[in-house]
Structure formats: C-alpha cells, structure tokens
C-alpha cells in the first residue's frame, strides 16, 4: 500500500455511543488532498472480458460470463459521525446479523439515513480546507451529522471457472470516499465519487464464501471538488461487480478512427495496453483486432494483428494495430451508425475477448466553425444531472432511456454531462441513440471561488479527475468535446495542467472550460460563457477579434415558470456560423421525494428535509418535472429546436418554404401534412408532396387547400406538420418531429349587433350603487369600490363578494421575478394597493345602452400611485365593454401585466377558450403553443410547480368562457385583436406564501385574469430578465376587454365568440395622478456645497439636488475607494423650519444605498453639534422620509452615511431635500 502522510486532523467530536465498539480517529486519507486512492487500478476505458466471440459481439458487459453483479441487498449500519462507526465491522467474525439492509446501488439518505442537502453551490460543512471535521455553526445540520459513515457488508462466491484468473472489483460510483476490505484484509481506498474505482482483489479472495466490507464517508478531500448544483447524497449509488481476466490482460485500449480528406474512407488505429499480472515471465502472444458491422458480420479487410512480446511479471506494454475501412457508415447524432471492434488476445491456449461499439466520425475546427465529418453542426440540447426523485443519484438504465426518449422527441441532439462523469452505461446509450456529448469532468469548487486555481496540493486531484474522465470514455463516438469541469475560479495553473493532461491522452477532441473565458486568453479550443444576453451573443458572434467557435454551455435558465426567449437565442444560433449552440440549464427538476412522514409525502426542494444550509427553490429548474412529465417549457423547446424549418411565403395562395436544418440526413424519412382550422376546428386537411431535401436545402411548395368562404368573425390557421415515416429507437412511425402554424389572411369582420334592436335596460341609481337590469341579467356597480359588486345571469350571481374587476399589476413571483421585478412590486406596494374612488357617473344614451364611468386611485408605497379611468358600456344583450386608461406616477417599474382580475364562485371551474395552448404560455415562451380550441378545468390549467406561483397564462386569446354545471356563462373577449387570460383556483395572495403545492387549501374561488399584455417569464433566476419587448413597463396605457353574460346551458361558445362589439362608445379620459392625488408638501433642495468625497463625472455632488432621480452623488469608488463614514452638506439658501428630510436612493442599482445614517443641522455651516436624528433606512426604501423629532430651524443640513446595505464602502444619494414644517406643526 501507498505510505500514508501525517494525519492532518484527528477529531473525536462525540463519545462512542455503540456499546462494545472501539473508537478510532478519522482516517488521515480523508483530509489528504494528495491521496487520490490506495491500491486502485489505473483508469482505463470502459471494458469487460468475454468468454467468446458471440459474447463480445453482443457487448453486454454485465451479462459476460466473466462478470458477477453484486447489486442487491447489503447489510448496512449508519452513524452520524466517524467516532461512532463500528471500526471492526470488516472482520468476518464480526456479527452483522442484527444490521438492517439497504439496496445497492442507492443513496442512503433516500432510505432514511441522515439528511439530504440541496446546495446550488457552497458546502454543507464548514469551509476550512483541507479539514473536513471543523465545527460548523450550531444551526447547521453538520453540527450533529459531522461526517456520516455507512458501513456495508455482504458475502459473495467466485465461480469455479474463474480459477487461475485475475479477479477485479469495480465500484462505478461511491459518494464521496470509501475503504475496502475483503475477508478481513484491507484492500484499498478511493476518492472521486463519479469515476469507477477498480481494485485487483486476486490476492484477497478465496474459493467459497468471501466477505466484502465497504466503509463509506460522506465527506472527504473530494468534497471540496464536488460542489455541484445538486442534492448532496451519499453511499454506493452505482453498480458494483466483480469480474475476471487472464493473467495477461488487455488492461486498456483506445480505438481511434480517422477519415480521409473526402470524409469517405477511414483508418482505424487501436492502441492496447497489455499487462502481465502474474508473477512469472509470460511468452509472446498475438493481438487481433477485427471490425464487425451492425449485423455481426466482419467487415472485409477491416482487421489487423500485432505480436505482443514476452512480458516480465508486472510489465505492461502498448501495442498498436491499424487497418483501413472502405466507406464505412458514418456516426453522427442524426445517423448513429455503430460497428463493433473486437480485440482478441491469444496465446495458443486461451483467448481474451474484448469489444466496444465504434463510430466513424471526424471532428475539426475550421475558423470559428465546429465540423463533424466535414459538416458544420449545431448543438441544441440541455445540461443533465443524474437524478430521479425516488432514487436520488442511483438512476437505472430504464430511467436513462426515459430521458433519451424525451430528449430525442424534444429535438435535442446534445447533452452536457453536468457537472461530472456520468454512469458508463449512459455513454453507451448515447452512442446507440445519437446524442452529441460534452463530457465534463467531476470538478467543481464553486463555493471556494479561486482558492484552488493554483493550490499545489490540489493539482494532482484536478488533473486526476480529468484523466479519469478521458480514459473512461475515450472510445465513445458520442463524446465530441472534453470539458475540464465547471465554475472553478478562473482556471489557473491547475487547470492548465489538466488541459495538458487531456490533450496528451486525446489530442483529437476539442476542449472546453467556461471559466477560461473567451478570446486570446482562452487556452482551450472552444470559447464559452454562461447566460449571455442575446444582444451580447450577437456581438460575440460577429466580433472580428475572436477566432474560436462559441459554445453557450448554460443558458435559458428553466427554474419554475421561466425559460423565456429560447426562440431568440436559437434564431441567433441558426444565423451565425460561429455559434456552436448551447445547452439549457437544465434538463429536469431535481426534486427529491420526502416520504419520511407517511401523512405528508411530497417532492422536496432545498430545506424540505430540514437541512441547514440549503438553497431552497433553486433545485427546480428543468425543462421537464422531476418525474419527467413535460413542463410547458418542453413543447417550446421541441418547436424551437426542430430541425425542419417551415416559413410563410404567400399564405393567401398557400405558398410556404421548407428548409432542411439537419446536418446529415435528407427529409426522405418524413411525411408532411397540413390542415386548415376555423376557430380551432379542422375544416380541411391533406398530405404535402414528398420532399427529399438534402441538408441545408430549402424549397417553396404550395399547400393544396381548397378555396372557401370565410365566416364573419372567424379566424383561420394553416397548420403544417412533419412526421416520421419509420420507427426509430425513440419514437414510432407517425411521431411529429416538426410543426408550424400561420394565421391565414382570410378573416372577415365580425357581425356587430344593432344596439337599438336589443332589449331595453333598466337603470336604478342610489347613493351606494348603480343597478342595471336587462333581459335575463342584472349588474350591480358599487360606487365605494369602483367595480361590480354583482354580475347576475338567470338570477345567479357569478362573482364572490369583492370579486369585480380590479386593476391587478403583480403576480405570485415565478422565482425568476424574485431576482428583479418582485422587489419593485414589494417596494412600491403593488401587493396591497389602496384603492379610493375619486368619481363615478352614469348615463343612458339609449334605452339599450348604459355607461358607467369611474376614476379610481390605486396608491402603493413610496409615492407610487396609479390613476385608473374606466368606462363600462352595458348593452341590452348582456354585453359589457370595459375601456380602461391607466396613468402611473412614480418610478418606472415593471408590471406583471396590464389588465384586471375578477374572482368568481368556485363552482366556475370549467374553461373553454380559443387561444394558445394547451399548456401555459407567455409572450416570450409561446412558439410551441398553437392557437386552438381548448377545454380544461381550472385545476388542470394550473401548472403543478412544486412551489405555487402565478401560472396558467394563455396568449393570443380571442375569447374564453368560464362556466360550471347548470350555471350561467361568463365569456371574456378581446375588443380588437387578442387578450391574455388565466383562470386558476387560487389568487396570488394564496399562491405566494404557500411553500409547497400540497399545502394549498381548498379553493374558495375561481380567479380570472384578463390582460392586454403580460410580463414575459425571462430566465432571471440565473440569466437575463425578459427582453425589453416582453416587459410591461409602468407607463400610461389603454386597454379594453369585453364580458358577456350567457345563459346556463350555452354550448356554442364559438358562435358567441365571433360577435363583434359596437364601435361607437365613450372612451375613458386618462387622468394625471397630480389632479386627483393629495398634494405632497413641496421639497426644498438647496445647493450641495461639500462632501467627504465624490466620483468625478458620474457622482458629482450637485447631482444630489438636481431634481433628477436618474443622477446621483457617489462617494469615490475608483482607485482607492473612500471609506465610511461619508457626508454630504446642503445649503438650503435660507433658514427653514425643517419637519423632515427626504432621501431618494439611486435608481439603477443597489450599490451605495444608505443603511445607517445621521442627520446634523447648522445655521452657519461650521458648528454642527449632535445629530438631530440617527437611524436606519430600510433596504427596500428607495424613497424615505426621515421625520425629525420636532421641527427645527436651520439653513445647513449634513447627511452622514455610516454604512450601506450591501456592506460595501460606498454611499450614494439620488436626491436630498427637506420638508418645511406647516404652521400647525
């Protein structure tokens, strides 16, 4: 065994509580960053010896005659910290009969042992490298679970036929480090949880029963390099098996394929490492390498041989075999053609058979383009963690295949193995199914920033993990890029060493490491960055100084209701050859089932197990849910990523353009179909002419629909679809791979009912209400609330008390809104606007028409006010037209929408609509949602995010009908064009504070939101906020919508939805807030005459009193920043009786927002005395009134800033003024 280094830390954190068990110090290997393993076999390609050629051609490693799986139930004992572990458990005589059992593979936390942690980044133990047992805060879970240890035991027997062969044991994944014993003898140690650890156990095993013992530690030296965004779970979580090989064994081999300049013929070069494991000199033997096709037939001429020389005991030699192959079928993600390379090592008495699937492809970078087989490719995919909610990280092959089915059906051709080496079977499946892989090494120390970039003691570990990644998976054609790791400082000398090590093994594949950056300073082959704004992406694509392809390794952050602008990103990928493409973050939500309380079982996010610390909701950011049900993000991804482009040319004549966006296949394998819909119902359909477009080609075609007479008020769409003609691994024939929808220019005006022909209305006004009664309906308007108190049809009210339409400007945040917009909604009081009715009037210009006009003032916080003018025009047929004008006053902020909210009785749980669906969609995530006629319940319209939030929006809606059994119908309709709507069983006020969806109470109402515009979802959880065109800014605006009261039993919503609205009606007059709001006392600003420091240009002192909130005084920050306290002096120009001081923080960002302050007053500007007041400005107070204890006369004012909210040494003031005391004061 390797000699051990001195013990770095020997900590006994509690007394042993297990009676009769010896207490032992922490094994020193666990805190030694340079101890990477003891007695481990060197890393090598994934391989398995086979008994004969038949087995080798099948290439099923786990079914080999020379493999025995050790998966199953093992005896198990768990303790929360090392001093409590059963130190002698490895001895065969140690009695484990009373121990419980645990399945292997599994994570022990999933089975109730210890606490799962979720961290985005940051460690769950105290950050005190290299020590792992340092005392954390008492509130941390690790205070008691200092370093959990799992002790595993099982017996196994060796097949008699293995006699005389070398015996190995392989652990494909153990988190995070483990010691191994066989029959009471210590075999070795391993750290690095994500690459197979292999031991030669020949000298430790015996005929008959063998006792296997494994001691697993949750924390080790490897913990510092495994700070990935995931659940931190422990145990033996991948396959364990024993296998045997001859004494002279092909320990490793590398199959390289290269294509000629025409990308036609190939050369295969195999380098095998042959080792003599015996204790005697072994004579020479012959290595034969043969290529077999997919049918198991040898490829003519595709074979080669080499003589292996005599080998001394323990000696290993490399042997090369090469041969030519004439025009092999090429491997790409679109055409995953695989051969089988078989290696046979013969000595005249026995033959060792090994095999691997082989794909022929050549990777090149020419200029800024990434080419495979001479063809530029695009990567459109996702980052994928190995995780499933019921098993944690111990995923099965069936679960891998489920991912592959969904990925391929969603038009993904790419996966980044974020952020570690995956299970070996995953790479084999990607070879078979066709996925371009960016294979990432198991290195991330995000929570330690740059600490290890140049740390000499961490060099070996960082290099080792990269070597393991390359050696393990070098034979897989699906791997086209090696990634050195994720979010580790900026690289430094240790990553340069890793890069050199990777290139030394495999110089053919390009390399990537995002933290190297872009441009001349990047030593890797590919430029990369995360979460780049589309505008910046365009600049990168066109920058003449850049010379490498750009790979967007993480983008379109899909946390909860998000992933906006995916289409805009991919438009850029398609437009610019220099952009290789990107990977969405991330493929699936990483929820974990918490079943520890049978009465409360749920899929948890961070904190769901009571762990401290944790990163809460951040674990849910997938395109699909944790159990792989598609989220609304999935159809968007499928449509945006599709490889057949369909574009309008002349829709009136049916002319469209089809482009083959595949890189390697024609469109011969797809059938095209079309249909025409009228208000969502198919009225014509047919098949498109067969297209055989080559990659990159396009063609204009005519859709052969028959001419028809459009119906007044109806809308028509052309739908085009392409489907598979033959079964694929991932889908059956007839599966739709691409689609598009276009609105046809055939719309005719809606029929407008004649107002004078409608039944008359009865108007009754009191001091409190306005009541309008018509045939079969009655409407009551409340003058105190400025909205409808009742909407009755057939004598039944539709509204709950207080449920009439109100301006509704916020939403239960999407957890992306948290990062920007929600702060403003809270800061300016949008969650609880105080409404006051300023004026109400009613008129009846005609017997069948009544107009109600109202002006409502909605007041928030910090002087934020919205004036809402509305005119309701009621008609004798039960139609209510709402015309609205809003005028905000105060800071320009984003709104969740421009629209209103109604609250209906909970029985109104059925919804039918004509608009985009069936899943929710938003302005920046609607390409995959076609306009159609859809029906659902309000619960079905609520997207089941683990954390409740606003959801269920639908864009481009012509009308929506909400109804219930035997109840009248409320239809909302666009006045002109379209509206957006949602109809949910809960209001935002219930959704927002509720932690988990299972905690939602019974619904008490149906919440109907009608909007002209809705804020996009963006990806601001970790990336850009919505693009500007998808933001609803607080600006003067108008909007209209229509409500129709329809009798119970109405079923023909389509006809009702086609009716037009009378054009001639009163419109609201926008009312400036200043005309109706209470006047604010005038502020006196004076002149800024002195400051402790200022930033020239940007932060001049006069900016603090220039009546412009977008400029500001800033303490000096360039060069050597000025340190607090900072001060600013104002000359008010005359003596003022000051009642209050008004402070306005800078608008653009939070830097310099004052926290702790003091106010001084003076009459001469020299003598200040004691502060008249001191205190703390709340963090969310952009505008803050500091009321003095009593009015005080002074000419000069000094504001002293003691600290700022971000803890930086800055101070800023956008505006500073004083309020003069009134005579009453």
Q: How many CB atoms lie within 10 A of CB 520?
A: 10
Q: What pLDDT does residue 2 have?
A: 40
Structural domain includes residue 1034? yes
Residue 1 has pLDDT above 50, yes or no: no
User: 964 falls in which pLDDT band (50, 70, 90)?
Assistant: very high
Contact 438, 662 (CB under 8 A): no
Residue 32 C-alpha from the chain's centroid: 35
- Closest by CA to 893, choosing from 1035, 1072, 1074, 1037, is 1035
Mean pLDDT within 1160-1170: 96
Q: Which residue has the higher pLDDT, 76 or 1025?
A: 76
Burial 601-634 (b: 16+ CB within 10 A, else e): ebbbbbbbbebbbbbbbbbbbbbbbbebebbbbb
Task: Give pLDDT tens digits for 531-557.
Answer: 999 999 999 999 999 999 999 999 999
Mean pLDDT within 586-610: 96
- State the greatest distance between any 2 C-alpha atoms of the chain, in Å, as a whole number: 114
Q: What pLDDT does residue 6 have?
A: 31
Q: Coil, strand or helix: which one is 539?
A: helix
Angle at 1089 between CA 1083 and CA 1090, to 5 degrees: 120
Question: Phi, psi at residue 178, to the nearest 5°?
Answer: -155, 155
Same-domain pairing of 214 and 317: no
Same-domain pairing of 48 and 197: yes
Q: How many CB atoms lie within 10 A of CB 676?
A: 21
Beta bridge partner(s), residue 556: none
Residue 25 has pLDDT above 90, yes or no: no
User: 1181 falls in which pLDDT band (50, 70, 90)?
Assistant: confident
Q: How many CB atoms lie within 10 A of CB 664?
A: 16
Any alpha helices (H) in 267-416, and if so which ranges?
A: 397-409
Structural domain includes residue 1? no
Q: What domain range is 1122 assigned to? A: 1083-1220
Same-domain pairing of 483 and 581: yes
The CATH code of the domain that includes 318 is: 2.60.40.10
Same-domain pairing of 982 and 1117: no
Q: What pLDDT does residue 1081 have?
A: 75
**Cβ-proximal residues to 331 (8 Å cutoff; 6+ apart), any chain:** 337, 338, 359, 360, 361, 431, 477
Mean pLDDT within 951-974: 97
Give the lowest-confidence range in 22-26, 584-588, 782-786.
Answer: 22-26
Mean pLDDT within 259-279: 98
Say which residue the tokens 């890189």 belong to. Answer: 663
Please give the DSSP secondary-structure letter assigned to residue 12: -
Angle at 179 between CA 177 and CA 183, to 5 degrees: 155
d(CA 1176, CA 1186): 10
Contact 1201, 1157 (CB under 8 A): yes
Domain boundary among 345, 363, 381: 363
Three-state SS annotation for 766-786:
CCCEEEEEECCEEEEEECCCC
Give the sheet arrangement for strand 185-191, strand by strand: 37-38, 185-191, 177-182, 209-217, 149-157, 72-79, 100-104
- Closest by CA to 673, choosing from 641, 644, 708, is 644
Structural domain includes residue 1120? yes
Q: What pLDDT does residue 5 have?
A: 35
**Cβ-proximal residues to 370 (8 Å cutoff; 6+ apart), any chain:** 363, 364, 376, 377, 510, 526, 549, 580
Domain boundary among 743, 769, 785: 743
- Closest by CA to 357, choosing from 48, 729, 663, 63, is 48
CA dist 507 → 307, 439, 482 (Å): 26, 15, 10
Q: What pLDDT does residue 1179 have?
A: 85
d(CA 263, CA 170): 38
d(CA 738, CA 719): 11
For the chain, what is the domain count?
6
Residue 16 has pLDDT above 70, yes or no: no
Q: What pLDDT does residue 1074 have?
A: 67
d(CA 649, CA 644): 16
Residue 463 CA neighbour count, 13 Å, CB half: 21
d(CA 847, CA 763): 9
- Closest by CA to 1026, choosing from 1010, 1014, 1039, 1038, is 1014
Structural domain includes residue 678? yes
User: 408 falls in which pLDDT band (50, 70, 90)?
Assistant: very high
Whole-angstrom Cα Rg for the chain: 35
Mean pLDDT within 464-472: 99
d(CA 529, CA 520): 14
Same-domain pairing of 289 and 162: no
Structural domain includes residue 153? yes
pTM beyond 0.85: the answer is: yes
Beta bridge partner(s), residue 913: 934, 960
Is beta strand 351-358 parallel, antiparallel or unpaired with respect to 298-308?
A: unpaired
Residue 971 has pLDDT above 80, yes or no: yes
Does residue 966 have a cis peptide bond before it, meaning omega lies within 30 degrees of 0?
no
Is beta strand 1156-1162 parallel, antiparallel or unpaired with respect to 1173-1176?
A: antiparallel
As annotated, the active-site residues are: 487, 554
Q: What pLDDT does residue 815 have?
A: 82
Exposure of 683 by Cβ count < 10 A (0-12 exposed, 13-18 middle, 19+ buried)?
middle
User: 17 falls in which pLDDT band (50, 70, 90)?
Assistant: very low
Share of the chain above pLDDT 70, in %: 98
Residue 10 C-alpha from the chain's centroid: 41
The CATH code of the domain that includes 151 is: 2.60.120.260
Residue 4 has pLDDT above 60, yes or no: no
Contact 658, 329 (CB under 8 A): no
Q: What pLDDT does residue 1077 have?
A: 66
**Cβ-proximal residues to 644 (8 Å cutoff; 6+ apart), any chain:** 658, 659, 660, 661, 662, 667, 670, 722, 737, 738
Same-domain pairing of 1057 and 1093: no
Any alpha helices (H) in 956-1031, and if so which ranges?
A: 988-991
Q: What average pLDDT does the chain have?
A: 95
Q: What pLDDT does residue 747 have?
A: 85
Phi-psi region of 1165 (alpha: psi -120 to 50; beta: other; left: phi over 0): left
Residue 266 has pLDDT above 60, yes or no: yes
- Closest by CA to 735, choosing from 722, 726, 723, is 723
Mean pLDDT within 998-1016: 96
Q: What pLDDT does residue 1131 have?
A: 97
DSSP per residue, 50-80: BSSHHHHHHT-GGGSTTEEE--EEEEEEEES
Any alpha helices (H) in 902-1028, and if so which ranges?
A: 988-991
User: 14 falls in which pLDDT band (50, 70, 90)?
Assistant: very low
d(CA 329, CA 126): 54
Residue 176 has pLDDT above 70, yes or no: yes
Tokens of 659: 């482009």
Contact 50, 20 (CB under 8 A): no
Structural domain includes residue 610? no
Element (H, E) at 968: none
Q: What pLDDT does residue 526 have?
A: 98
- Closest by CA to 823, choosing from 887, 893, 898, is 893
Tokens of 530: 């995360």
Residue 1064 has pLDDT above 80, yes or no: no
Structural domain includes residue 19? no
d(CA 1114, CA 916): 48
Mean pLDDT within 353-358: 99
Give the sheet arrangement for strand 363-366, strand by strand: 363-366, 369-372, 375-376
Residue 137 CA neighbour count, 13 Å, CB half: 7
Residue 21 has pLDDT above 50, yes or no: no
Task: Give pLDDT tens digits for 310-337.
Answer: 999 999 999 999 999 999 999 999 999 9
d(CA 324, CA 301): 7
Tokens of 835: 């409404």
Q: What pLDDT does residue 1062 have?
A: 83
Say which residue the tokens 């013990």 belong to. Answer: 7
User: 1110 falls in which pLDDT band (50, 70, 90)?
Assistant: confident
Same-domain pairing of 1147 and 1174: yes
Structural domain includes residue 512? yes
- Closest by CA to 854, choosing from 882, 890, 895, 888, is 882
Domain boundary among 1061, 1076, 1091: 1076
CA dist 380 → 377, 437, 441, 548 (Å): 10, 11, 21, 18
User: 1054 falls in which pLDDT band (50, 70, 90)?
Assistant: very high
Q: What pLDDT does residue 1214 have?
A: 95
Tokens of 1189: 């204890």
d(CA 992, CA 986): 10
d(CA 646, CA 70): 52
d(CA 322, CA 270): 6
Same-domain pairing of 472 and 326: no
Beta bridge partner(s), residue 851: 843, 873
d(CA 591, CA 110): 12
Mean pLDDT within 472-497: 97
Contact 799, 789 (CB under 8 A): yes
Residue 680 has pLDDT above 50, yes or no: yes
Same-domain pairing of 632 and 656: no
Same-domain pairing of 1052 and 1157: no
Same-domain pairing of 233 and 254: no
Tokens of 440: 């990432």
Same-domain pairing of 1070 and 1122: no
Q: How many CB atoms lie within 10 A of CB 1001?
A: 8
Q: What pLDDT does residue 23 have?
A: 55
Q: Is the dihedral of CA 375, 376, 378, 383 positive or negative?
A: positive
């Amino acid at each position: 065994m390797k000699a051990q280094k001195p013990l770095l830390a020997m900590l006994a954190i509690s007394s042993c509580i297990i009676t009769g068990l010896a207490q032992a110090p922490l094994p020193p290997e666990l805190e030694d960053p340079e101890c990477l393993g003891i007695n481990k076999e060197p890393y090598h390609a994934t391989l398995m010896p086979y008994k004969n050629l038949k087995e080798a051609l099948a290439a099923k490693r786990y079914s080999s005659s020379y493999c025995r799986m050790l998966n199953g139930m093992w005896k198990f004992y768990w303790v929360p910290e090392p001093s409590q572990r059963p130190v002698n458990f490895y001895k065969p005589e140690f009695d484990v009969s009373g121990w419980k059992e645990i399945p292997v593979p599994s994570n022990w936390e999933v089975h109730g042992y210890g606490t799962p942690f979720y961290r985005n980044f940051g460690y769950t133990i105290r950050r005190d490298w290299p020590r792992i047992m340092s005392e954390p805060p008492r509130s941390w879970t690790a205070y008691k679970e200092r370093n959990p240890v799992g002790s595993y035991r099982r017996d196994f027997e060796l097949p008699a036929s293995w006699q005389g062969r070398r015996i190995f044991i392989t652990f494909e994944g153990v988190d995070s480090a483990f010691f191994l014993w066989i029959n009471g003898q210590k075999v070795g140690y391993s750290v690095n949880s994500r690459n197979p650890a292999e031991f030669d156990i020949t000298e430790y095993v015996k005929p008959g029963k063998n006792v296997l013992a494994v001691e697993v530690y949750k924390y080790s030296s490897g913990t510092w390099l495994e700070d990935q965004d995931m659940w931190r779970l422990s145990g033996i979580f991948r396959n364990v098996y024993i296998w045997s090989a001859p004494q002279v064994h092909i320990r490793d081999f590398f199959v390289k394929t290269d294509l000629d300049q025409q990308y036609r013929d190939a050369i295969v070069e195999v380098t095998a490492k042959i080792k003599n494991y015996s204790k005697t000199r072994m004579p020479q033997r012959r290595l034969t390498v043969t290529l077999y096709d997919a049918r198991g037939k040898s490829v003519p001429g595709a074979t080669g041989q080499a003589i292996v020389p005599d080998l001394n005991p323990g000696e290993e030699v490399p042997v090369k075999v090469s041969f030519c192959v004439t025009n092999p079928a090429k491997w790409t993600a679109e055409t995953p053609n695989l051969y089988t390379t078989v290696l046979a090592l013969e000595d005249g008495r026995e033959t060792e058979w090994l095999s691997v699937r082989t794909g022929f492809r050549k990777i090149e970078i020419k200029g800024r383009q990434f080419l495979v087989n001479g063809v530029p490719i695009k990567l459109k995919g996702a980052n994928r963690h190995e995780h499933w909610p019921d098993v944690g990280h111990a995923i099965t092959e069936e679960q891998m295949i489920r991912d592959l089915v969904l990925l391929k059906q969603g038009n993904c051709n790419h996966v980044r193995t974020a952020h570690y080496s995956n299970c070996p079977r995953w790479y084999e499946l990607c070879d078979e199914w066709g996925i371009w892989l960016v294979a990432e090494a198991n290195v991330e120390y995000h929570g330690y920033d740059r600490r290890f970039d140049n740390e000499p003691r961490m060099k070996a570990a960082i290099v080792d993990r990269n070597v393991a990644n390359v050696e393990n998976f070098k034979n897989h054609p699906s791997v086209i890029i090696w990634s050195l790791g994720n979010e580790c400082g900026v690289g430094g000398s240790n990553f340069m060493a890793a890069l050199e090590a990777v290139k030394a093994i495999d110089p053919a594949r390009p390399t990537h490491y995002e933290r190297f950056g872009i441009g001349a300073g990047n030593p890797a082959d590919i430029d990369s960055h995360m979460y780049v704004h589309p505008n910046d992406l365009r600049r990168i694509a066109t920058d003449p100084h850049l010379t490498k392809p750009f790979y967007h390794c993480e983008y379109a952050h899909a946390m909860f209701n998000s992933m906006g602008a995916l289409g805009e990103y991919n438009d850029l990928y398609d437009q610019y050859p220099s952009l290789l493409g990107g990977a969405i973050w991330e493929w699936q939500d990483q929820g974990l089932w918490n079943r520890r309380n049978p009465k409360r079982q749920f899929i948890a996010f961070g904190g769901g197990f009571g762990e401290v610390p944790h990163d809460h909701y951040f674990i849910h950011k997938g395109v699909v849910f944790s159990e792989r049900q598609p989220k609304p993000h999935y159809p968007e991804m499928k449509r945006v990523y599709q490889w057949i482009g369909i574009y309008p040319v002349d829709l009136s004549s049916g002319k469209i353009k089809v482009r083959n966006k595949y890189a390697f296949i024609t469109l011969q394998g797809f059938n095209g179909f079309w249909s025409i819909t009228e208000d969502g119902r198919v009225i014509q359909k047919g098949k498109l002419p067969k297209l055989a477009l080559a990659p990159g080609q396009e063609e204009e075609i005519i859709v052969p629909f028959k001419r028809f007479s459009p119906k007044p008020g109806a809308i028509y769409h052309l739908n085009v679809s392409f489907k598979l003609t033959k079964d694929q691994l991932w889908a059956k024939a007839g599966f739709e791979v691409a689609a598009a929808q276009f609105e046809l220019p055939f719309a005719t005006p809606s029929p407008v009912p004649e107002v004078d022909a409608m039944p008359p209305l009865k108007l009754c006004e009191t001091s409190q209400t306005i009541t309008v009664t018509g045939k079969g309906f009655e409407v009551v308007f409340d003058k105190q609330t400025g909205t409808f108190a009742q909407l009755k049809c057939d004598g039944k009210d539709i509204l709950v008390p207080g449920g009439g339409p109100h301006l509704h400007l916020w939403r239960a945040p999407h957890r992306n809104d948290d990062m920007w917009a929600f702060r403003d909604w809270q800061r300016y009081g949008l969650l609880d606007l105080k409404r006051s009715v300023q004026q109400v009037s009613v008129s009846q210009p005609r017997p069948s028409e009544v107009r109600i006009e109202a002006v409502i003032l909605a007041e928030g916080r910090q002087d934020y006010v919205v004036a809402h003018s509305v005119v309701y025009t009621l008609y004798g047929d039960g139609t209510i037209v709402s015309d609205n004008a809003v005028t905000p006053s105060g800071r320009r902020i984003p709104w969740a929408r421009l629209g209103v909210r109604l609250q209906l009785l909970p029985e109104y749980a059925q919804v039918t609509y004509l608009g985009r669906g069936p899943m929710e969609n938003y302005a920046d995530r609607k390409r995959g949602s076609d306009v159609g006629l859809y029906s659902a319940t309000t619960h079905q319209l609520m997207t089941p995010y683990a954390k409740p939030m606003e959801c269920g929006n639908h864009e481009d809606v012509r009308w929506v009908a909400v109804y219930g059994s035997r109840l009248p119908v409320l239809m909302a309709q666009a006045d002109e064009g379209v509206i957006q709507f949602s109809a949910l069983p809960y209001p935002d006020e219930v959704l927002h504070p509720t932690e988990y969806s299972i905690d939602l109470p019974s619904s008490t109402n149906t919440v109907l939101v009608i909007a002209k515009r809705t804020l996009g979802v963006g990806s601001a959880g970790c990336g850009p906020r919505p693009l500007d065109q998808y933001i609803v800014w607080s600006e003067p605006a108008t909007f209209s919508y229509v409500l129709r009261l329809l009798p119970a039993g109405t079923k023909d919503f389509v006809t009702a939805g086609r009716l037009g609205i009378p054009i001639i009606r009163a419109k609201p007059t926008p009312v400036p807030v200043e005309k109706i709001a209470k006047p604010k006392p005038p502020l006196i600003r004076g002149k800024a005459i002195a400051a402790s420091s200022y930033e020239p240009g940007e932060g001049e002192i006069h900016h603090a009193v220039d009546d412009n909130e977008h400029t500001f005084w800033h303490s000096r920050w360039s060069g050597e920043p000025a340190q607090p306290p900072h001060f600013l002096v104002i000359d008010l120009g005359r003596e003022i009786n000051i009642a209050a001081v008004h402070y306005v923080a800078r608008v653009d960002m939070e830097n310099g927002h004052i926290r702790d302050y003091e106010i001084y007053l003076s009459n001469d500007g020299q003598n200040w005395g004691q502060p008249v007041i001191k205190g703390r400005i709340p963090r969310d107070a952009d505008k803050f009134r500091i009321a003095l204890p009593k009015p005080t006369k002074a000419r000069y004012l000094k504001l002293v800033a003691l600290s700022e909210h971000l803890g930086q040494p800055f101070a800023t003031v956008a505006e500073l003024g004083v309020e003069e005391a009134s005579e009453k004061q």
